[in-house]
Each structure stands twice: as C-alpha cells, then as structure tokens.
C-alpha cells in the first residue's frame, strides 16, 4: 500500500494537514516535535498550545519535515532536519557525537502515523519522503536513532516514534553503533 501514500515537504500551505496529523489527543498532540528542540526546562515550561505554535513558526521559517497523505487524508509526519537543529540530540547518550561521526548530518527524529492509518506502509513512505527531502536540501549523510524491536518486542506504539531498526534497514541505513540494547544509531549516505 506504500505506493498509495504521497509525501511532500511541509510548508505553510500544508499546515492544516500537519495539524490534523498531530491531532488533539495522545503523545503527538503533547509534543509537536519539540522534544529534541527544547531544553528540559523549556519543555516542562511549555504547554501543548505553545509547542504547536513553535512548530508552526518552524514550518513558516523553513521545512522541518514531510507530511503524508492517503488520498485526500493527511495520515503522517516525519521530522527531518540537520542534527544542529535539534539541540537535545547533542546531549542525548544515544545520539551524542562520537569522534568518527559526521559533525552535522541530517537527522530523522520522529514519525507520527495517525492511529487508524497504521500498518498501511505510511512510515515506510515517510522514510522515503524524508530521504528525498534531505537530499533536495543538500544533505549528504542522514541518520536515524531507531528502537530495536527484536531486542524489545513489547515496545508500545508511543515508544516507536523514533522508527524501528527494521524500518531504517528497508531504507538502506546501516547500524553504526548500538548505544543501548534497544537503540541504534543508523546512517546512510545520500
């Protein structure tokens, strides 16, 4: 079904579709892809409306990811920007730069697929859209920080927002290190 899913770089004209994807309930509605952008203190001091406003401003200023449609229905989102756009990545023990790492690769940090559209190939289409988006914006290397469902098969959908190792493998990514039993750093040259 992946062929039926269409992705496009998000911009001001797609904001309403993106808002539909994030919705008003659940983890996406409380995050609006700001977890990796804000310090812990700022995260704790920012409510969901303010987080939505931050993402809206980021969309207006550039294109921080891709949105997916199935027909006319907005069904998903993937956040993808340079590593340096996500200050919390540099502090995370999972994604903190190591001596041999590229300094500022592009990073896919988040997937949101609306509940009723899961298991239809949306995440796979979003990954392909994120690769295309990064390449079109000059990326030469792209990373992801997915969960390993083989190591932890009981992960909830909420815990899979980073994507999965198997998903990234289908996109041509290779594991460059395993900073924990259930997380990987995966990379691909573009």
Nearest to 177 by CA among 102, 106, 105, 94: 94
132 exposure class (CB count in 10 Å sphere: 0-12, 13-18, 19+): middle
- Tell me, what's the pLDDT at 154? 84
Tell me: the pLDDT tens digits for 120-129? 899 999 999 9
Task: Using a pLDDT cut of 70, give the percent of the chain over it.
Answer: 98
CATH number, span 2-189: 3.40.630.30
The ranges assigned to domains in the chain are 2-189
Per-residue tens of pLDDT for the chain, all 190 residues: 557 899 999 999 999 999 999 998 888 889 999 999 999 999 999 999 999 999 999 999 999 999 999 999 999 999 999 999 999 999 999 999 999 999 899 999 999 999 888 888 999 999 999 999 999 999 999 999 999 999 888 887 778 899 999 999 999 999 999 999 999 999 999 9
- Tell me, what's the pLDDT at 25? 86
Q: Is 8 helix (H, G, I), strand (E, B) or coil?
A: strand
118's CB contacts (< 8 A; 6+ apart) are 157
Angle 48-61/15-22 helices, nearest 10 degrees?
150
Query: Is 121 within 8 Å of 76 (Cβ atoms)?
Result: no
Query: Is 108 within 8 Å of 65 (Cβ atoms)?
Result: no
Tell me: the pLDDT tens digits for 30-44? 999 999 999 999 999
Position of tokens 């988040």? 110
Task: Please report, for residues 74, 152, 157, the alpha-carbon distance to residue 114 in angstroms, rounded to integers and kept in the order given.
Answer: 9, 23, 11
Question: Rg of the chain over CA atoms, in angstroms?
Answer: 15
- Tell me, what's the pLDDT at 2? 59
Tell me: the pLDDT tens digits for 134-155? 999 999 999 999 999 998 888 8
| CA separation for the pair 170, 124 (Å, rounded) | 8
Q: Is 109 helix (H, G, I), strand (E, B) or coil?
A: strand
């Amino acid at each position: 079904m992946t062929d039926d899913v269409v992705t496009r770089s998000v911009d001001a004209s797609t904001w309403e579709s993106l808002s539909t994807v994030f919705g008003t309930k659940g983890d996406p509605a409380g995050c609006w892809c700001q977890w990796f952008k804000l310090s812990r203190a700022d995260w704790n001091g920012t409510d969901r409306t303010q987080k939505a406003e931050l993402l809206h401003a980021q969309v207006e200023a550039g294109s921080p990811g891709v949105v997916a449609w199935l027909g006319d229905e907005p069904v998903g989102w993937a956040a993808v920007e340079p590593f340096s756009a996500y200050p919390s990545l540099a502090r995370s023990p999972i994604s903190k730069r190591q001596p041999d790492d590229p300094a500022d690769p592009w990073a896919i940090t988040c997937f949101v697929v609306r509940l009723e559209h899961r298991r239809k190939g949306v995440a796979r289409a979003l990954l392909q859209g994120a690769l295309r988006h990064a390449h079109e914006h000059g990326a030469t290397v792209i990373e992801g920080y997915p969960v390993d469902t083989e190591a932890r098969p009981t992960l909830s959908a909420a815990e899979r927002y980073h994507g999965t190792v198997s998903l990234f493998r289908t996109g041509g990514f290779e594991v460059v290190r395993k900073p924990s039993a259930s997380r990987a750093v995966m990379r691909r040259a573009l």
